[in-house]
Structure 1
Amino acid sequence: MSHNARRAIGTSIWLAAAFSIAGCASTPEPKIGRAASQPVAELGQANFSVTRPTTYALRPSDQISVVVFREPELSLEEVRIGVEGNVSLPMIGSIPAAGMTAKQLEQDVTRRMAAAGLKNPIVSVNIAEYASHLVTVEGAVDKPGVYAFQPGARLSTAVALASGLKRTTKESQMAVFRETPEGIMIAKFDYAQIQQGTMLDPVLEPGDRVVMGTDGLSQFWEDLLKALPAFGVFAVAGIQ
């Protein structure tokens, strides 16, 4: 048996043992009962909550529809709220919209149209697209990118949107960057604990950035496997 063949066999056995050990890892058992809901202050989680908002305040980039009953020329099926927070409507021009609920904007548009001379206006405002709700997911996930999400979605949703974790992910190294009035704050989470229910799974905020860390040892295995074909380790056809 040649030296290269013996090396190939030895490396194959070594890799098989390594993957056998790696295969022992499994998803942690969930905790039965009430899941954790309190932020861990020392991990920077003070600005995070599991409570979903009961009302929705319009934001820049959100898309709404404004329908004026029996007034098609005054109605808009789709109109986007501008970066300054205003929306431009027929008859009344540019008016503030960000920060209001759809109902509040509906009442404001009704009042303004009546003041502009429209008799007994009946206005309906609905949210067509929550376009302001974007989360960036980076690091050791299968498909990093920027994803749209629905209001009330949780941190675990961001991972699912990115098609889950890579096998090189270090689940305890999960960082979330969030913009606050005091500046961008960074909080640390443990994804395995979130799955288990022993750490809160907070509600996402528009603009959140989620970064999943990489396990150095697992990264070593990944880099090694990429290099194997170059060294011909699996070229064992010539074994004698």
Structure 2
Amino acid sequence: MLICAALSPATARGLGETAPAEDANAVVQLSARDAQLSETSVAGDYRIAPGDELALKFFYVPELNEVAIVRPDGKIHLQLIGEIRAADLTPEQLAAALKRAYAANLRHPEVSVEVQKGFARQQVFVGGEVARPGAQPLLPSLTVMRALIVAQGLKETAAANRVVILRRGEDGKPQVIQVNVASQSRKGASDGNDPLLQPFDVVLAVPSRVSRLNKWIDQYVRRNLPVNVGFSYDLNDNRSGY
């Protein structure tokens, strides 16, 4: 899948203490929303990651056109300007950064950024009390429940009313979102109890015995998450009170 951004000159929810675990094997009632999910695209929110192959095209200076691979440190090296950070930016944001960087060298720094390879590598990670924890490719219709199904479901030791999403916010800081997937048996699936996942989300099924949720998350992240999850969490600095 090709993702392109062109730039022209004109141009935590609070978490409570332990609650009684609801039936982890409750039958999920799918709503009409699921029929629309396959038409939803996450391309507009795509963020460049290490290993992505970027095609840079300069409309008025084609001799500067090149293909750059994002290095593990998140940077690319380009003609005239040298190194510039690309990881964690959308293609549009990188195009804007390149326009500013090339303004000192080009009269009309009109540039496009195309992600030629990389979209399929966006992932989410599912862990905790699931049968098969691990990374999953992020598809446009991947919700929390679908990710749990791919992970072969919740264990009996999981609290289905306390599934947690760890998500990187706009400022790069972690957000902690609690999802009650057990409520789908009563209310059906909705954006509240079965939200769409975003690139590099971490979905954790919390054990029903846990009383200090923040401590458990912190320990699980430090001991189990792979380095390729895309970014790090420092929950010790969290001051939201849970």
TM-score by length of structure 2 reads 0.49
Larger radius of gyration: 1
Of Structure 1 and Structure 2, the greater helix share is in 1
